[in-house]
Structure formats: structure tokens, C-alpha cells
Amino acid sequence: MLPIASLEMKTRDQIALQEAESKSMKITGAEAVIRCLLAEGVDLIYGYPGGAIMPVYDELYKFQDQLLHVLTRHEQGATHAAQGYARTSGKVGVAIATSGPGATNLVTGIADAQIDSTPMVCITGQVASHLLGSDAFQETDIIGLSTPVTKWNYQITKASEIPEIFAKAFYVAKSGRPGPVLIDITKDAQFDSFDFSYKKCLGVRSYNPVPTLDNNAVNEAAELINKAKKPFIVWGQGVILGKAEEEFKDFVEKSGIPAAWTILGLSALPTSHPLNVGMVGMHGNYGPNILTNECDLLIAIGMRFDDRVTGDLNTYAKQAKIIHFEIDPAEVNKNVNADITILADCKESLTSLIPLVEQKTHKKWIQRFDDLMKIEVKEVIDKDLRPNKEGLSMGEAIVSINKHTQGDAVIVTDVGQHQMVTCRYAEFVRSKSNVTSGGLGTMGFALPAALGAKMGAPQREVVAVIGDGGYQMTIQELGTIFQTQAAVKIVVLNNDFLGMVRQWQQLFFDKRYASTEMVNPDFVTIAKGYFLDAKRVDKRKDLDAAVAEMIASDKPYFLEVCVEKEDNVFPMIPTGASVSDIRLK
């Protein structure tokens, strides 16, 4: 009898224990934040602590074996690092900051992620809810400030809202056309306890991220493609975000259509692919720009006709029929009216399209691109890559990086001349290898983004190519690189000028170089101050060995390449001019 009684007793004890445990599932809002992140598969976040977010940081301390927090040296650096991480890993980047200045410092990175469709979740602390609107210490209306530059944002004032809002935030950030989401959490919501349970978000009734594919539109598109004599593809980042690189390559190869990329589409198709005819836009290649205004069919895939791509809209591809493959209905007929719009995820639409497309080669038409490329090589590329001046060119540095990385590095660029030169000449064999600030043109992007890019793809070589201007906008992130020992290779192409602005001053402002000349510090000494291996080259004969040494290093490495002060980037479409009025000099 006795054993049974004790068994019963035990069972009753266990029940009591379970009840106690389920009651102890009450956790604080701060702990809930961490558990939400873990439930979303986040193992790495970038941020900077401060008063209003301290409860969450306290939990980060407790969870540090499951969730790595990288302390950047400025909140802007945290957003760009999260962006770089998202771009190479394909996952959602996460940045966290305190209220007030911590929150406002995130705004540039959020705006950058919004215009370049980068999935990111930003978390900000906020003053306690009873202080909202009282102009409390470090209170700022980050919801109001971030509204125009976020895909979605929300202010949490009750701990119990945390699981649902985090689930929705991650769902919104990565679904459809990705983008940044900001969650602002009052300090009392971080402290308060509640019964925690997490359910992933599978849908939001007011939000339809991926439009349903219209097969009739696909049929019509196939008909136009099969009839076209001079078809031309322009692809953008949609191919990469839609993970449609294979389908895209199959479509290009089967249809035999020459394809050009926007700056964010770069690396979705290998550089050496015979149908990859180069870049469109302001500093794109000669052929693709000229022939935009000669093709009879323009097939735009996952791109949004940015003004830097189209030049003057009134003279953009007017002779051509236009097919637009797009996931975001707001981009349809926004800048360029399409004859056929295929609203869907391009992986799905291309999969439907490929069987309907006839196998073709457009030899004569492709010859036109080759002929124009010969002109560009003679007039521009030869001078860029094999200059007969004493000073080094930016292009030479990129060629050397190509050589020593076998064209298989992740290349991170900032904004300006070096960005255009790098995107023109860097070679790529794999997708997700080009990380740059395209839409917003954020100087200071590259250094922190390179850190994130390396952490998002730790097995890959990551080379940041940065101008001397942009480098100094976020130079403090050398501290983060040193602390994390992320083996980022940093190349500063130093011309002691804000080169792109200087180029415009030379061409359009009669050489009045207003505030573009930089008196620069000793960059090598600064890098060494952060205990990084560092070198400077200013002679052609030393360049190759220096790049080789940098790439061979398994640690972070800084290389300053002193280049010609007043080189210009060509070809160029002057603002407001037609793509076919592209200048070679």
C-alpha cells in the first residue's frame, strides 16, 4: 500500500511543481525580447547600450552564450553592420539602441535599408510610458522620425505586446519586398513581467507581401519575348532577394538575350557570363546605355527604374515595349510605364516563363554590344586599367583585388568615385557578393557594412573598398573591427578629394572646387592605433605585392592606396540627359 500512496503523493507533487513552473513562465519584457530574437533564429545583433534599453542589455548579458551582441562605436555603424550582415547572409539584420540620440543615430541606416530593400529589425529603448510626451531625458519621437523610412514601426508600451509585435516585425521585414522595421519599447514594458509564449507570424490581414502571379501576363510576356528582334534584359536586386539566380540564368541562357545589371543587381549573374553585358545607368557601360534606346523589348526584372538608371525619362526606351517583373505593386508604372507587368516573386514568374520562351541566340544584336564595348575599352577602360600616368588609378587597385581573390570576394563599397570604379571593374562569380549603398548613397556605409558582411559570410573573403571621404564618416568602426577581429580587408582609395563631387565641380561648376579638397590624417597610423596590420602604397610596382599580402592575411588588414588626385569616372550620363547621350569623356 505504501508505495502506491507515495506514488500518488509524488504525482500530486509533480502537478503542483508543474503549476508552479508554468506560473514561473512569467518573464520580464526584457527577457521576452531576447526569447523572441532567439525564436526568430537570431544569433547576432549589433548595438549600443544606454539608459532606456538597459533592461534588455542586462538580459543580453545573461544570454551571451546564445546571442552575440557586437558593440559598434556609433549606432549608425550598428545599422550598416546589420545591413551588411543581411545582404551576405540573406537573413534579417538586427540593430539595437537606446532612446533619444541612440534612436536618431539609427535613422540614416534605416533610410538606407528602406530604399535598398534590406530586411532589418531595429529595436530602440524608450522612456517609461508615464513619461511619454513629457520631454523626459533622452526622449525623442522615434516613431514619428522613422515612419517615412520604415516598412513598418510600432511602439510597445506593455510587456504583453512583445511576442506578437516581434513576430510581426520579423515577418514584415523579410516578406515580400524586404525592408526595415523599428520597434520602440518603453522602459516599463521592459521591466514588467507577463506570461510569455511565442507564435511565429504567418500572415497579416492588411498586408499582402507577394501578389498572385497572373499566368495570362506571363503568356503575353513570352509572346513578346519570342517575337522580339532586339530584346534587352535589365535586372536588379529583386533577382537576389527572390533567390532566383538559377532561374534568371536559365532564362537568360535559353532566350539568348543580353542582360545588364543595376548596381544592386550586381553579382546575381557571374561577370564572365557571355550574356552579361555590364552595368546600366549614370556610370554604367557604354553599350547597355546606348542600346537601351535601340532595343525593341526591354525586360526589367526586379528593378525599379531609379533616376540614376534611366536618366531623362522622356527619352528612356521610348521605342521599346517594356515588360516589368516586380514584386512591389507601388513600383508599377511609377517611373516608367510598362506594356506588361508581371507582379509576383520573380522566382515564381521566371519559373513559369522559361518553358514558354523559345531557345534563341541574338548574334547580330549581341554584336552591337561587343562593338560598343570595344569603343569603351579604347576610350575609357584601357586608360583606367593601364594608365600611362605616373599616379595609380582606382581601376588598377580593383584589378589587383580581382587577381588575388580570383574574383570570389564579397566586395563592399561606400559611395562616390571608388564605388563606381569598383562596381565597373570588380569581378564576381557568386551572388550576394556586392554590398553597397545604392539608393540612398550613404557615405560611411562601407566600413561597418563590411564588418556585418564578414559576420554574415565568415567563410568568404570580404574586401571593403572605400574613399577617403566616406571612410572618415564611420572610421570609429575600426574599433569594432579590432574588438571582434572580423578579418575584413579594408582598402582606402585615397585621392585627397571628395572625388565625385570634385568631378561634378570640374564638369558642371567650372572647376570651382568648393570644399572638396581633404587634408587627410595618416590613415596607416590610425589603423595601427587600432592595432590593425596596415600598409600604404603609392607606387605601381608595390601595388600587387601589397594586395597579395593583404589577401593572404587571416586578420583584419588596412591598405591605403594613394591614387591620382583628379581622375574622373567615365562613361557618364549627365543628370537630366538621355541614356543614349552617355559621354565617354
Residues facing residue 122 across a β-bridge: 95, 182
Residues facing residue 555 across a β-bridge: none
Alpha carbon distance 320, 252 (integer Å)? 19
200 part of the interface to other proteins, by CB under 8 A: no
- 173 versus 473: smaller Cβ distance to other proteins: 173
- 204 versus 507: smaller Cβ distance to other proteins: 204
Smallest gap, in angstroms, from Cβ of residue 118 to other proteins?
Answer: 17
The identity of residue 554, as a single letter, is D
Instruction: Tell which one of 1, 2, 41, 205 touches other proteins (CB under 8 A).
Output: 205
Of 92-100, 289-297, 323-331, 534-542: span binding other proteins (CB under 8 A): 323-331
The identity of residue 421, as a single letter, is V
Of 50-58, 104-112, 196-204, 535-543: span binding other proteins (CB under 8 A): 196-204
Q: Are 281 and 309 in contact (CB under 8 A)?
A: yes
Alpha carbon distance 491, 473 (integer Å)? 15
The torsion defined by the Cα of 340, 312, 111 and 494, in degrees rounded to 10, comes to: 130
Length of the chain counted residue by residue: 585
Q: How many CA atoms lie within 13 A of 444 on its CB side?
A: 18
Instruction: Tell which one of 10, 26, 227, 334 touches other proteins (CB under 8 A).
Output: 334
Smallest gap, in angstroms, from Cβ of residue 422 to other proteins?
Answer: 31
Extract the C-alpha cell encoding 250. 536559365
514 class by beta-carbon count within 10 Å (0-12 exposed, 13-18 middle, 19+ buried) = exposed
- 80 versus 304: smaller Cβ distance to other proteins: 304
- Which of these, 217, 225, 230, lies nearest to 288 by C-alpha position? 230
- 162 versus 257: smaller Cβ distance to other proteins: 162
Measure the N-to-C terminal CA separation of the chain; round to a whole number of Å: 101
352 part of the interface to other proteins, by CB under 8 A: no
- 337 versus 367: smaller Cβ distance to other proteins: 337
Smallest gap, in angstroms, from Cβ of residue 129 to other proteins?
Answer: 12
Of 200-208, 343-351, 393-401, 518-526: span binding other proteins (CB under 8 A): 200-208
Smallest gap, in angstroms, from Cβ of residue 207 to other proteins?
Answer: 5
- 104 versus 255: smaller Cβ distance to other proteins: 104
Smallest gap, in angstroms, from Cβ of residue 215 to other proteins?
Answer: 19
Of 197-205, 302-310, 376-384, 462-470: span binding other proteins (CB under 8 A): 197-205
Instruction: Tell which one of 68, 213, 332, 375 touches other proteins (CB under 8 A).
Output: 332
Pairing status of strand 340-343 against strand 321-326: parallel
**Kind plus residue range of the DSSP H or E element containing 46:** strand 44-47
Alpha carbon distance 536, 345 (integer Å)? 46
Smallest gap, in angstroms, from Cβ of residue 320 to other proteins?
Answer: 21
- 23 versus 205: smaller Cβ distance to other proteins: 205
Q: Are 564 and 392 in contact (CB under 8 A)?
A: yes
Count of CB atoms situated within 10 Å of the CB of 374: 13
Q: Are 210 and 313 in contact (CB under 8 A)?
A: no
Smallest gap, in angstroms, from Cβ of residue 324 to other proteins?
Answer: 13
Interactions with other proteins, residue window 15-74 (CB under 8 A)? none
Size of the site for other proteins (CB under 8 A): 22
Smallest gap, in angstroms, from Cβ of residue 168 to other proteins?
Answer: 8
Smallest gap, in angstroms, from Cβ of residue 151 to other proteins?
Answer: 7
219 class by beta-carbon count within 10 Å (0-12 exposed, 13-18 middle, 19+ buried) = middle
Catalytic sites, residue numbers: 75, 137-138, 187, 500
Instruction: Tell which one of 12, 137, 207, 548 touches other proteins (CB under 8 A).
Output: 207
Supply φ then ψ for residue 23, to 5 degrees.
Answer: -70, -35
Of 86-94, 114-122, 129-137, 198-206: span binding other proteins (CB under 8 A): 198-206
H and E: helices and strands count for the chain? 25, 20
Q: Are 356 and 219 in contact (CB under 8 A)?
A: yes
Helix axes 346-353, 215-227, angle to 10 degrees: 60
Residues facing residue 183 across a β-bridge: 123, 154
Alpha carbon distance 122, 515 (integer Å)? 34
- 167 versus 447: smaller Cβ distance to other proteins: 167
Alpha carbon distance 170, 157 (integer Å)? 19
DSSP string, 488-518: EEEEEEE-SB-HHHHHHHHHHSTT--TT-B-
- Which of these, 448, 371, 509, 380, lies nearest to 87 by C-alpha position? 448
Residues facing residue 466 across a β-bridge: 492
Count of CB atoms situated within 10 Å of the CB of 502: 27
Instruction: Tell which one of 202, 514, 519, 552 touches other proteins (CB under 8 A).
Output: 202
Instruction: Tell which one of 42, 172, 263, 466 touches other proteins (CB under 8 A).
Output: 172
Interactions with other proteins, residue window 120-159 (CB under 8 A)? 143-144, 147-148, 151-155
330 part of the interface to other proteins, by CB under 8 A: yes
Of 99-107, 199-207, 220-228, 286-294: span binding other proteins (CB under 8 A): 199-207
- 154 versus 497: smaller Cβ distance to other proteins: 154
204 part of the interface to other proteins, by CB under 8 A: yes
Smallest gap, in angstroms, from Cβ of residue 312 to other proteins?
Answer: 18
Of 330-338, 475-483, 505-513, 527-535: span binding other proteins (CB under 8 A): 330-338
Smallest gap, in angstroms, from Cβ of residue 143 to other proteins?
Answer: 5
- 15 versus 204: smaller Cβ distance to other proteins: 204
206 part of the interface to other proteins, by CB under 8 A: yes
Interactions with other proteins, residue window 257-286 (CB under 8 A)? none
- 148 versus 529: smaller Cβ distance to other proteins: 148
Q: Which residues bind other proteins (CB under 8 A)?
A: 143-144, 147-148, 151-155, 172, 202-207, 328-330, 332-334
